Structure 1
Amino acid sequence: MTDALFLSHEDVTDLAEPADYVRVVRDAYRQRGEGAAAEPRTKLVNDDPPGMFTTYAAVLPETGVMGGYNYSAGFGARDAWFVTPLFDAESGEPLAILDGASMNPFKTGAAGAVGVDALARADASEVAIIGSGAQARGQLRTTATVRDFDAVRVYSPTADHREAFAAEMSDELDAAVDPVSSSAAALDGADVVITATNASEPVIDDANVEPGTHVTAMGQYHPEKNELPPETVARATYVPDLRARVTRDAGSFLAARDQGLVTEDDVHAELGEVVAGVEPGRTSDDEVTVFDSGGTGIETAAAANLLYERAAERDRGTTIPFAPASEALTGR
């Protein structure tokens, strides 16, 4: 028998700052670049009631943990539920089960921030945000820890949403955050572009992506989700979180491939390979780079461990017992 912690939303919501998430996620991707195991998401779709059950996982040997997400969306409640199991990578014993919803924008945003840090120009000073929801907020909060932005422009089709986003984020960041009325206006002069939508059609025009721009796209985790123009994918140095997911669910890459603009050989490297120095990142100031962030167990396990360690230090959580299979299977 072993004890694990159940960590509720209230237990973990105030335990880490954006920079903390970026630090541990960067190290996790380094481990992936040096050979740590990770698999793309597995998604099961249910018709009646309509819903989706998704899992993904990773092993972080140096951190000493393994884990990932199990989450459902839709079904009868028409909501989403994020359950995050965390295991000890040496003993295999369960360490914790987290209510993982509150960390989601931060751990996903941290992956995006690591992508910006690895691929954007060092002097990047203006960022365009396409989208105004929780994920867009997470992306901006974390990305602001790796570059000093002078200006932020946000576009969302709903004026009230982009104005609320700008007002909230202006209070949090040193940079001015301005709502704009089109994606073209957001991208005008932008060094970094972040798309955080659930769009099935491109949300930016290739003509507005200037030489030297870095693009982080985080809404491309389904073959029909396609935030980026095929032309942008084709001319960019294209870096996904996991190479294995590119032909499964990286919607913009698949659209470019279907138009004959790219092949699998056009995948430059995984993000972890760039972070670990196994492959180069940006090689010129005029280069367009794309980080395709579909979500992995890499950032999930890293973020969960960060919260678990801090919760344990503060004596938070509820202890729950787990029986090993050697006992439970035999009834001893």
Structure 2
Amino acid sequence: MGAEGELPQNLPLFLTDSDIAKLADWPEAIRAIRAAYRSADDEARTPGRIFAQSEREWMRIMPSVPGSGQMFGAKSIVGSFADGLRVSYLISLFDKDTADLVALVDGNRITGLRTAATSAVGASTLVPPMPLQVGVIGSGFEARSHLTALSHLVEFAGIRVFSPTPANRESFAREFEGLSAAGAVAVGSAREAAEGADLILCAARSRDESPTLHSSWVGPNTAIISIGSTTPAQRELPADLIGRAAVIVVDTYDEVVNGSGDMIIARAEGIDTDSVVVTLNAALSGEAVIDPGRGIRIYKSTGSGLQDIVIAEMLVNRARAEGIGTVLPVGIVTTRK
């Protein structure tokens, strides 16, 4: 078998973290995610995460061949404990027709962009077209990015935010005052943020991995976004709240149902989660019929390589159009087998 190959006609593009900051666009990200999840659902296109690790280093690979778009590839996340914990993210994109390397993209900001954009699309399947009272638990990056993304698809009647640090929740309320023409206020407890809310955004990790939201705070017709329980050890929603759910929309079926601590514990307590879980693809295609105004509706996410790849492709296309990024002086060969 020969080892000779062909260099690509177009050299690959490299996008830095600062390039991504210039190119990020919520409406475009939301459109890319919606298109990806409206394509035919095929688990073989986006398999589960691949892990490699030692006592000091670890690596996670998240591959995907989206049904939409012209590119496929993988996000690599690497970590080292040699000097505290240092983590890097790299997305590699290849052309579907030629298998040529198209781009290398710093994935640092993309994780937040794709997570919030997907949550906004997921929430849009669960809420009625009316102004909503929103309760936010958390005031960090995830809370800010999610509320911003949601504002492109959901109308707000009011925003209540809780963070354990008073200065942080007050700063958050000032930042989002007037978003979607709604007032934003800081409140003194997670319960105050959640009670009476039409939509609850859970975006704060508990230090002891206990749930950050309690079932008794949640009304009978409430939508919830849960993004903070992505491994078997993590907790965000209590089992009794999951047991009350009329529907749970998930971005990745196997990893949410079998890899989220919330769902694992709910099943261990005898709750039939299978009967209420539907995929985001089924929700968007109309295969699953959801009443957006009745019952407790939960969107639960662990993230996936599909989201990373379609957002990275969107950013690369914008970069080409706007002349942003660095064309690498070399490429890799593509061989015929």
- Give the alignment's TM-score, normalised by structure 1: 0.90
Cα distance between partner residues in 2 of 1:137 and 1:201: 22
> Where does the alignment leave 5 or more consecutive residues of structure 2 unmatched?
1-6
Q: Tell which structure's C-alpha radius of gyration is larger.
A: 2
**How far has the Cα of 1:32 moved from its partner?**
5.0
- Structure 1 distance, partners of 2:53, 2:178, is 40
Equivalent residue, structure 2, for 1:147: 154
**Corresponding residue pairs, total:** 324
Segment drifting more, 176-185 vs 75-84: 75-84
Q: Relative to structure 1, is the Cα distance of residues 142 and 206 closer, same or farther in structure 2, using a 3 angstrom cutoff? A: same
Aligned partners of 2:16 and 2:105 also within 8 Å: yes
Contact 1:221 1:249 in 2 (8 A): yes
Q: 2:3: which partner in 1?
A: none
Do structure 1's residue 285 and structure 2's residue 293 form an aligned pair?
yes
Measure, in 1, the Cα distance between the counterparts of 2:155 and 2:276: 29
Are residue 20 (structure 1) and residue 28 (structure 2) matched?
A: yes
Distance 1:198 1:41 in 2: 22
> 1:7 is matched with which residue: 15, 20, 28?
15
CA contact (8 A) 2:201 2:226 kept: yes
Shift in alpha-carbon separation, 1:307–1:36, aligned structure 2, 3 A: farther
Aligned to 2:232, the other structure's residue is in SS state: coil
Instruction: List aligned pairs for 1:19-168, cutoff 5 A.
Output: 19-31=27-39, 33=41, 37-47=45-55, 49=56, 52-73=58-79, 75-77=81-83, 78-168=85-175
TM normalised by structure 2 equals 0.89
2:72 aligned counterpart, secondary structure: strand
Select which of 201, 206, 210 maps to 2:215. 206
Secondary structure, in 3 states, of the residue corresponding to 1:316?
Answer: coil
Match in the other structure for 1:194 = 201
SS at match of 1:150: strand
Cα distance in 1, alignment partners of residues 54 and 202 from structure 2: 28
1:40 aligned counterpart, secondary structure: coil
Q: How does 1:130-279 map to 2 (within 5 A)?
A: 130-170=137-177, 174-199=181-206, 200-236=209-245, 237-263=247-273, 265-279=274-288
Q: Deviations over 1:25-47 (max 9, x none)?
A: 11111125477821233344543
Partner residue in 2 for 1:302 = 310
Q: Once the two structures are superposed, what CA deviation does each residue of 1:93-138 show, in whole Å capped at 9, x if it has no partner?
A: 2211111112322211001001110112222511111111111111
Shift, 1:260, TM fit: 1.4
Per-residue CA deviations over 1:70-98 (Å, capped at 9, x if unaligned) read: 11345234233221112222322221111
Mean alpha-carbon deviation: is it higher for 290-299 or for 61-70? Answer: 61-70
Structure 2 residue aligned with 1:316, among 307, 320, 324? 324
Supply the RMSD in Å over aligned alpha carbons. 2.2
**Does the 8 Å CA contact 1:68/1:85 hold for their aligned counterparts?**
yes
Contact 2:133–2:199, Cα closer than 8 Å, also in 1: yes
AA at the equivalent of 1:70: S
Q: Confirm or deny: 8 A CA contact 2:211 2:235 kept in the other structure.
A: yes
Which residue number corresponds to residue 335 of structure 2? Answer: 326
